[in-house]
Structure formats: C-alpha cells, structure tokens
Amino acid sequence: MNSTVYLYVFDTMADWEISYLTAELNSGRYYKKGLGPSKIVTVGMEKTPVTTMGGLTILPDITLDECSIKSTDALILPGGNTWTETIHQPILKIAERCLEEGIWVAAICGATIGLAQAGLLNSRSHTSNDLEYLQMTCPTYTGEKYYKMESAITDGKLITASGTAPLEFTVHVLKALGVFSSKTLEAWYSLNKTRASKHYYELMDSIQ
C-alpha cells in the first residue's frame, strides 16, 4: 500500500518548488512495477481556498484538525513569504510530532525558516536558502554547526532544501518514499537537470 503524502497549502505558497514532486507522486508514471500513484492530501488551516504565489487557487482537502498522519505517511512543507508569522505554528507542531514519531517531513525554502524558528533544526543536519539569513530571521536558532552548504539534505526523517533546488528536493523525497528504483531516480534527475536526450532513453529503459 502506498503512503499518503500530506501537502500543506497556504496563501503565498511557492507552488513551483513542489511541482516536480507533486507531478510524479500524483501520476506514478515512473513508479516501481506494482505500485500505484501516491495519494496527495492537501491540508489547510481552514477549508477555504488559498492562492499560491503563482496565482493558482487550491481548496484544501482537509483542515489541520482533520490531519491524522500515520507512520507510513509524509508531510510536505512548501516555501512561501509568511513562514516567519505565527499562523504556521499549528503545522509546525504537527511537523515536530512527525519527527518525534519517525514520520517523514520535507521542507523547502521558507519552510526551513519555520522549522528553524520552532527549534527543529538545532540538532539535525539541514540546509536552507542562506545561513546568515537563517540566523538573522531566527534569533533562537542554534543549529549553525549542523548547517550544510548543499542543495538538499536528508537527516533521519527530515528533508530540507534550498528554494533554488526543487529537483534535488524531489529526488530526496522520492528516495525517502522508495517509489522509484535507483536507476529510474538517477535517470529522471539527470534528464531534468541536463536535458540531454540520452537520459530520456535511460529513464524509459529503467521502467521496462
């Protein structure tokens, strides 16, 4: 049975940062044989439409109060302009519980700032958009020695990524969920990163 992926949605969310990921999760087009597409459940603070940074309207499937994440599931936190605001404290509490219970949490761009403010990056390897900016916006952040100058990082059940690394973010999440074979994942990334046609044929061969 495939995992359910809970996607937190909110006004100003950076829709492009999770678009590679949601496309592959929803379509399952390159999944291992025998695996169907993942179920994506959008979670909002309320069950009212939100508008992404790209101007797309999303009606959340469920509210935070209805969110019941199990050990086999994952929580995705997109970037956005409002992660320094208190409105995101409820989802950060859920993220904290997920990490305590060994449930995957994947955060990109601004969402990493939210995690830092919640103290969730103080003892785990992680990355973000910029260390100095993280220190400036999060006075309680003390995880400098765990900061890595990389596009995306996985430490335990936590994935963090820079906002300029949606491809790398996707690779880490797909690897964590185990839905692509290693050959498929490598070919998929190489194709999207380099656009070299040879990787398309490698990708097709990998799913035969």
Q: How many CB atoms lie within 10 A of CB 42?
A: 18
- The residues annotated with a catalytic role in the active site are 109
Whole-angstrom Cα distance, residue 81 to residue 83? 6
